[in-house]
Chains A and B, each alone.
Chain A
Amino acid sequence: EVQLVESGGGLVKPGGSLRLSCAASGFTFNNADMSWIRQAPGKGLEWISSISTGGTHTYYADSVKGRFTISRDNARNSLDLQMNSLRVEDTGVYYCADIATPPIDYWGQGTLVTVSS
């Protein structure tokens, strides 16, 4: 069974940092381009970052470029998102996902990040 389990969400003040992690199992993680997608409360889905299978190539949405860093550890089947200089508008549920090559469609349950003073 495929599982993606996010952790690390929580409440942080504007300007603060948070590191999200995603533990993967049940599929060949090191063959998958992995992504982070977020959803602000009551809003739509926003792709924010992806990383290639070996971790060499990373991609970011303009809204997070320069503030967020995606990384992976294929030995541990894990995906991370380091989030710095957080803003109120970064609040939302963050999903780890393997969706870059449909019909593969694996999502985590999401972790909530709240940026508030």
Chain B
Amino acid sequence: DIQMTQSPSSLSASVGDTVTVTCRASQSISHYLNWYQQKSGEAPKLLIYAASSLQSGVPSRFTGSGFGTDFTLTISGLESEDFATYYCQQSSTTPSLTFGGGTKVDIK
């Protein structure tokens, strides 16, 4: 089974900061990496799919990169609505899926 490891598990940042979250797969998953945002009490929402494709309606301050085993989600110019938990997810073995452990972004 493919394991997904996210880091850090949490971080504190200020509005306007640039934030980076990393995700590592236990084996190569090509570009089959997706990023989700989850706010408290809500279902997750897809931000980035196929490692770097921006989901429709998602602001361009969210960017994804990576291939193989190492991936990055960057939020450039953090806004107040971005304080949430972020999850990576591999879909190379779809419909069997794996999520990373999550990264909570909170206000410094």
Where the two chains meet, the residues of A that have a C-beta atom closer than 8 Å to any C-beta of B are 33, 35, 37, 44-47, 50-52, 59, 62, 95, 97, 99-103, 105, 107-110
Contacts and interface: CB of A to CB of B under 8 A. Distances in A.
Given A35-B95, A59-B95, A101-B94, 9 more contacts: A35-B97, A37-B99, A44-B87, A44-B99, A45-B89, A62-B1, A99-B97, A100-B91, A100-B97
A62 B1 CA distance: 9
A47 B98 contact: yes
Contact of B96 (A47, A108, A109): A47
Q: How large is the interface on B (under 10, 10 to 19, 20 to 34, 35 or more residues)?
A: 20 to 34
A102 to B, nearest CB: 3
Contacts, number: 63
Contacts of B101: 44
Interface stretch (B19-27, B46-54, B67-75, B76-84): B46-54
Given A50-B96, A59-B96, A99-B97, A105 B38 contact: no
Contact of B91 (A52, A62, A102, A110): A102
Which A-B residue pairs are the 6 nearest by beta carbons? A102-B49, A50-B95, A107-B43, A105-B46, A44-B102, A100-B95
A35 B96 CA distance: 9
A105 B55 contact: yes
A103 B56 contact: yes
A interface, by DSSP: helix, strand, loop or mixed? loop
B63 interface: no
Given A102-B49, A103-B56, A95 B43 contact: yes
Given A102-B34, A102-B49, A107-B43, A45 B56 contact: no
B39 interface: no
Contacts of B99: 37, 44-47
Nearest to B99: A45
